[in-house]
Each structure stands twice: as structure tokens, then as C-alpha cells.
Structure 1
Amino acid sequence: MAIYFVGDIQGCYSELKALLKQVNFSAKHDQLWVAGDMVARGPDSYKTMKYLMSLGDSVKAVLGNHDLHLLAIHAGIKKAKKSDHLDTLLSAPDVKEIINWIAQQPLLRKLPGEDVYMSHAGLPPQWTIPQAIAAAKVAEKNIQSAEREKWLSRMYGEKPNDWQKAETKTEKFRYTINGLTRMRYCYLNGKLDFHCKTAPEDAAKNLKPWFLLTKNQLKKSHWIFGHWAALMGKINVKGLYALDTGCVWGGHLTLLRWHDKALFIEGSHKKLAIKQ
């Protein structure tokens, strides 16, 4: 059995199928770990979701910010933008089945038997790994509950950006969602920043990529994440793997085979300039 990790698919269905064909992926023998943002912005979110769901238990996904936003759109909390390209999915006769499947996915996964973790955005530096796991479980329970719509309506906002100031259940939920699905940069004290999306060499001096502030937490662990296309997979930190390489923006889709750390890529089938 081979375990593969893939970065942000974002509706890039044809690229996903081509990439898996490169490695002769078999749903009977292999596993595909998806680092969130399965949908939105790309041309075929509906086909992407139908395909991932067809793979059954061989798919191990985590939620990304676009996946959560889709849940909120379907619930009537937010409106879809034209650029989301979600009309086909939202009007599909089996949309409720897709929405329910997405809502059952966790925010954080651990590879059984190994200190290997995956979340869409990474590990907030104000947390230890056990704290992240505990907070994720609480948030997941909220999203999977009968009160899903109530919690989805509470996830929007940028405050608190400091875990120490997250006092209520709503504040802790919002911080957890932001930390695990939206984070890129943090201030030097570990507080979350939500505005800078550039490559690290272009960032303000009072900001640091989250992964430069979590070295102590991740000394003996591996962390797989997506979300940050501007990195284009280039991260010089041992044990960390950045898999969002901007396929939806004209870059490529990246697959990591875990046992030998081999990387496979499939260039975007639609030529666009990389942007965010």
C-alpha cells in the first residue's frame, strides 16, 4: 500500500485524475490524503467531489477554508461568488449528500503509527500538537452536529487572533477554524495575521511564516499542509511539506508519496498566471 498526500485540488478534476494516473493509484490498495480545499475557484468542483467520494475509505481528507465556505453557502449563510465556480455543484440533485460528506471530514488528521499530521493551513504557534488535536475535535463536533448552521455562522471574523484571549466557546471555535484553515503568517508573539499572502521574502518584518515559529513543537514530527500557493512548495524546514502549488491559478498539482518522499506534479490544464 502506498500513501499519497495531495495539495489543494480546488476543483481541478482533470489534473487530479492525470496526477493519480501517473502513479497508478489504486483505491483498493492505496490511500489519498487530501490537504483541504477540495472545491472552489477551479472548473470542476462537482466532478472532483463525486470522484473523491467514489474512492471510499481510501480518501482521508481535511477541511480547508473553501470547503467550509461551501458549507456556509449551502446553508444560506453566505452567497457564492461567480469566481467560486460552484453553480454546478450547488444545483446538483445529490448536493446534500456531498455537503454531508464534506461536513464529516476533520480539520486535522494523524497518520496512524507515525508522528505525521495534516491540516489545511498548518499548526498555530500558540498551540502544542496535543492542544491542536483537542481544539480540532471540539470544532469538528460542532460542524458535525445538528447545530451545524449555527456554528458555521460563527466562524467568520478575525478576532480573537490570540488563543490566550479566546474565552467563549464561539471564540475558541473561530480561532480554531482560522488557525487550521486560514493561517499563513503570524506576528512575532504568535498571534495570527490574516492579510499577508505573499512569499516570505516579500512579507513585512513584523510577520513570520507560522512554520518558523513552531520549530520546537515540530522537532520530532512531520506536518503536511496546503493553503499557501505563493510558497510553490518551497519550504526549507525539516519535516514540513507545503503541497499547495497553485494548480487553480495556473501552477501545478503536487502529490507526495510518503514512503520515499517522491514528488509528482501535473501542470495546470488551463494556463493562467499564478495569483491569489
Structure 2
Amino acid sequence: MATYLIGDVQGCFACLQKLLRQIEFSPSTDSVYLLGDIVNRGPQSLETLRFCRDMQGSVQVLLGNHDLHLLACAHKVRPPGRRDTLTPILQAPDCKDLLQWLAAQPLARHLQSQQGQDLLLVHAGVLPSWSLQATMDYAAEVQAQLRSSNLPSFLQQMYGNTPDRWDDTLVGMQRWRVIVNALTRLRFCNALGQMDFSSSEAASAAPAGLMPWFDCPHRQTANTCIAFGHWSTLGLHNQKNLIALDTGCVWGGALTALEISMADFDQRQIHQLPCPPAQTPGK
């Protein structure tokens, strides 16, 4: 029985299948957690989405920004972009069922080892003032909106870069927008937790006054192991309390699976599959 964390697939279904064969994944005994952005930019978003839905139980997913973008396109909140590969999903006969399943997926997951170690799974990041429990609670607030009849209105108001920092007094869409942006878009912020979305460069190229979210001083989750994707220019990180797994599969990098032991999260093994580029950055 094995447990794997896999970074951004982004519709690269053939690569996902090849990686699963490489690790000898058995859906009857093993578990896979995909860290968001399961669709878009790769050539087989429809096949990827169907696979995840059909394999629920052995394959668990998180929502990333591209997954939310698909929901927004389906509800005509935003048109598909020039480089999007979402049209086959939107035209599929089972589109409604696929999107209903997708909207029911969480923005964060919490795993616990047999030794009592915590592992927090998110797509992008966690604000410095949030504890593990607060992160799960805030994610649940947004999940409730995504699963409600309020979904079209929520998606209509979801986009925007403000408010750019957390405040416990925030309510309604202002509050939920901060939660969505932190969990699905965050890379850089300042020492006070003010988010910035102007750069997607590597951590070493942080804009002046900013830092990667995980380097913020006094971060409440500093002693919690967090696994995330989203940041392909960051690359693979496999540290005690920080696991970054977006290794740029769609850009011609690799698709990465981290095998973890549910007995002890410090026992890990990396599996990687080199991938042909499905998109060219900046093109």
C-alpha cells in the first residue's frame, strides 16, 4: 500500500498514465493526491478530468487556479484563453457531471501519519497568519460556496487582487477572494502577508520587498509540513516541512510523484517522468 503526491498535471494525461505505470500504481491498494491544476494547457484535459472522477477513492484532487478557471468558463464568467485546452470538456456530453464533480472537490486536504505528523496539501500557498486548522476552516468556507446554488454569482465575483491581505474582520466575497487567491494563486508576499501577483519567477528573483510565502517570518504553519504545486519556476523542493512538486510537466519539464509513508512522513521517495512540452512559455 503506497501513497503518492503528484504535482500539476494540467491535462497531460499521457504523462500521468506513464508515471502511474512507472510507479506501478494499483488503484485497489494505493492512493494518489493531485495537488491542483489537473486540467488546462495540456492536450488531454477532458481525459484527465474523466480519469480523476472515475478513480475517486484512489485518486484524490485539490482545486487549483486552472480548475477554477474551467468552472468560470463553463458558467460564462470568463471566455477560454488562447492557450486554454478546455473546449473538449465544455463540449463533452458528460460536461455537466464532470463540472459538478469538480466543484465538489476541496481547496485543501489534511493528512496525518501514524506517528501523528501533519501534512497540509494546497495548490499554491498559505498566508503567514493562518494556522493549519484555520487554513482548513477557510478552505471549507469557499468549498461551501462552490457546492451551493450560489456558484455562478461566486465565480462572477471571485476574480481580483484585492483585498491583498488577510483580516479576520473580512466578510463575504472580500473574505472568500483572499482565501481563493492564497490557496490557488499565491507565490510572493511581504513580511506582513500582503500578497503580490505580479511575478511568477523563481524564488531567487523575488521582487523588491517580497519573498516566497513560505519564507515569511513568524508563519504559523512553519512547523507543519506543506505540500504544494503551482510554481513551476520554483521547481522540486523536498525539505522536512516544505514540499514543492510542480516541475513544469506542461512546459517540457517533468511530472513528479513523491511517495510518502503513512507511518512516517519523513520517509519519502521521488519518482519523476521527463515530459515533452505541450506549451511554450510566453508563446
What is the TM-score when the length of structure 2 is the normalising length?
Answer: 0.92
Unaligned runs of 5+ in 1: none
Q: 1:29-80 deviations in whole A, cap 9, x for unaligned? A: 0111010000011110001111112212112211000000100100111100
Q: 1:207-237 deviations in whole A, cap 9, x for unaligned? A: 10001116642343211100000011146x5
**Structure 2 residue 197 is matched with structure 1 residue 190:** no
Q: State which drifts further: 101-110 or 263-272.
A: 263-272
Q: Residue 258 of structure 1 corresponds to which residue in structure 2?
A: 260
| 1:166/1:16 CA distance change after superposition, 3 Å | farther
**How far off is 1:132 after superposition?**
1.2
**How far off is 1:198 after superposition?**
0.6
Contact kept in structure 2, 1:250 and 1:274, CA below 8 Å: no
| 1:105/1:187 CA distance change after superposition, 3 Å | same
Q: Residue 175 of structure 1 corresponds to which residue in structure 2?
A: 178
**How far off is 1:125 after superposition?**
1.2
Q: Residue 264 of structure 2 corresponds to which residue in structure 1?
A: none
Contact kept in structure 2, 1:108 and 1:136, CA below 8 Å: yes
Distance in 1 of aligned mates of 2:53 and 2:217: 33
**How far off is 1:85 after superposition?**
1.1
RMSD, aligned CA:
1.8
Q: Residue 96 of structure 1 corresponds to which residue in structure 2?
A: 96
Q: State which drifts further: 221-230 or 206-215.
A: 206-215
**How far off is 1:146 after superposition?**
1.2
Contact kept in structure 1, 2:10 and 2:45, CA below 8 Å: yes
**How far off is 1:149 after superposition?**
0.8
Distance in 1 of aligned mates of 2:280 and 2:67: 23
**Structure 2 residue 157 is matched with structure 1 residue 154:** yes
Distance in 2 of aligned mates of 1:59 and 1:158: 32
Q: Residue 79 of structure 2 corresponds to which residue in structure 1?
A: 79
**How far off is 1:206 after superposition?**
0.4
Mapping 1:21-36, distance limit 5 Å: 21-36=21-36
**How far off is 1:166 after superposition?**
5.9
Q: Residue 202 of structure 1 corresponds to which residue in structure 2?
A: 205
Mapping 1:1-276, distance limit 5 Å: 1-113=1-113, 114-164=117-167, 167-213=170-216, 216-234=219-237, 237-259=239-261, 260-270=267-277
Unaligned runs of 5+ in 2: 262-266
| 1:262/1:214 CA distance change after superposition, 3 Å | farther
Larger helix percent: 1
